Amino acid sequence: MRTPSAVLLAAALGLLPAALTHCRPNAPPPTQATSTTAPAGSSAAPVAELTPGEVDQMLRARWQKEGITPAPRVDDAGYYRRVSLALRGVIPSAEEVESFLASPAEDRRAKAVEAMLASPRYAEHWTNHWERVLLGNQLREALVDRASFRGWLRQHFEKNTPWDELVRGLLTASGQNRPDGDDASAVNGAVNWLLKYKDTPADLAGATSRVFLGVQIQCAQCHDHKTEKWKIDDFRRFTACFVQTKGELVERDGNRRRVDVYDTERPVRGGPRRMGFAEYAEITPGALDGSDFSGSPSRRKALASWMTAPENPWFARAIVNRLWGHFLGPGIVHPIDDFRDTNPPVMPELLDRLAADLVQHKYDLKRTMRLIVSTEAYQLAAGPREAQGKLWSRYHLRPLGSDELLDSLIAATQIDRLLARNGEDELERIKQMTRGQFHRLFDVDEEDNDEDFDGTIPQSLLLLNGRLTSAGSTAVPGAALGEILASEGDDASKIRALYLRTLGRPPSAAEVERWRAFLDAPREVVQSESQAPPEAKGKGKGKKNLARDPLTALDKNRALAKKPGPRAARRQAYEDLFWALLNSSEFFFNH
């Protein structure tokens, strides 16, 4: 339980502080070299490489035309935290922030971006992102092996596999979904995405078109819409591309199933559970542009080749639009997966240039990410929520996603060190349990991009009263606050260390003075009782593991840290300070 003064200060920090809008007219946005290399397999004449400066020129011209004054430039600390969350999915460490702010290099922002793109956290973050997009949170876990799918994704993001190659690998995947004991030779983790739609090829077709082409054809599954382009025949032809794909049960081990995915010579039919296949068995397979794949040995391969071809009108545009939305909020086409004549892009020339540049550079996603985060628009200040900028003239505030929030809480508190004392398995158990809570409460529909989202009451309560946050803000030896309090230095240096660790910036002079007054104020020491629920008592063999709460060890550490002593009041004041920072909107949002 926190003291009333800490709760009031947390409420005060709930508004984004003025420091978020501090800007400095320093060096221009980082730029990149130019090239005139044409994309492989393209007959188009080479064009000048797209640069952040050209993107900036297009945006400035549009802002001037519409009488829009963009926000000033965000300061270095704000940019560094922002780009770390966007590229790596976690806040930067205090040491990284100190080193970045101390760097005299004018191109320090560009160098920071390169370091983050090369970081192991980059692959982990984008694995999390695409696992969420492709598999979601609700699955038939007995059939879909998340671990194998994540391993497949991570491998490709570590190698920076070209986007067209990665998508072809997904669409044409065959093999087994999970290993046979220690033997993983037959495993292809990509098939787990196909198995999500094992008995529903229509759903697979809708997801394929929506995610990879940005085209929502699923509304045409049942009827023709008078004002929309796609008709039932289009949907049925597209779906027919997937009815040769079969998942055959190889082994059942309790609730886990090992399945072999492959293509048959003829469309799959038969059985009441295969009605979704029978409906499309006699339909001529084809693409959205009318291409006929009925003579192709593999319909999926034919579809994948058509989708990822450089001349495809949607494929490259869909992914650059999705990336633009990820980094800057609303997409150039918004929602990001709704390309249609009645929902045109707000800046078609910008979308076309980004897509052409991606194709020209062989679908290198890191290049497009580097380009976007180097633009002037990405480096603008956020400002107050009520002043969201039109056409990306202010940075778009958004709450952290569930994975970003959990990983940032762990990074800020170093609570993983405490969890690791009980073994790596225990650490992973706690992460999985907590991640499940965060997924249920914090995940926002990425296609919605709700500009007015402020979080919900359950989300706020999970942070304010959550055992992970409370345990992480306790002065336990080995955790962040314990180390800070044991370090040399006065209150000002310790306050600075906590700000760098949580908010990624030094505190202002006013903030230091306010917190020093808070630390010096008289207070009654509150003895917090453990929040741990009683452990279930099992009987017989294995009772030690029955319903055991993996956070119990953290509660015991907190109880030991709460013992009264001569400095108990000051220690508790620091804990309240740290807790308030972790529960502030400045921590909760990417700004």
**Distance, CA of 211 to CA of 218 (rounded, Å):** 12
Q: Does the pLDDT at position 306 exceed 90?
A: yes
Q: Element (H or E) spanning 7, and its range? A: helix 4-12
Q: Tell me the pLDDT band of 384, cut-offs 50, 70 and 90.
A: low
**How many other C-beta atoms are found inside a 10 Å radius of the C-beta of residue 5?**
14
CA distances (Å), 229 to each of 147, 204, 217, 233, in order?
39, 20, 9, 11
Q: Name beta bridge partners: 248.
A: 260
**Distance, CA of 190 to CA of 167 (rounded, Å):** 10
More confident residue, 572 or 7: 572
Q: Does the pLDDT at position 6 exceed 50?
A: no
**How many other C-beta atoms are found inside a 10 Å radius of the C-beta of residue 186?**
14
**Distance, CA of 578 to CA of 468 (rounded, Å):** 13
Q: Are 195 and 247 in contact (CB under 8 A)?
A: yes
The lowest-confidence range among 377-391, 404-418, 426-440, 496-510 is 426-440
Residue 360: which of 34, 54, 38 has the closest Cα? 38
The angle at the Cα of 150, spanning 147 to 154, to the nearest 5 degrees, equals: 140
More confident residue, 475 or 187: 187
Whole-model pTM? 0.85
**Distance, CA of 581 to CA of 497 (rounded, Å):** 12
User: 275: left (phi > 0), else alpha (psi -120 to 50), else beta?
Assistant: alpha
Q: Which pLDDT does position 34 carry in this prediction? A: 34
**Distance, CA of 190 to CA of 150 (rounded, Å):** 9
- pLDDT tens for each residue of 154-208: 999 999 999 999 999 999 999 999 999 889 999 999 999 999 999 899 999 999 9
**Distance, CA of 533 to CA of 366 (rounded, Å):** 45
DSSP state at residue 298:
-
Residue 279 in tokens = 């409906």
Q: What is the mean pLDDT of residues 371-399?
A: 87
3-class DSSP state of 587: helix
CA distances (Å), 423 to each of 377, 426, 427, 445, 556, in order?
45, 5, 6, 35, 16
**Domain range summary for the chain, segments of one domain joined by +:** 4-14+399-590, 33-118+313-392, 133-308
Most confident of 82-86, 271-275, 455-459: 82-86
Most confident of 136-145, 378-387, 545-554: 136-145
- pLDDT tens for each residue of 449-469: 444 344 554 555 555 557 778
* CA quadruple 91, 95, 99, 100: dihedral, nearest 10: 10
- Cβ contacts of 590 within 8 Å, gap of 6 or more: 81, 82, 85, 86, 397, 398, 399, 400, 404
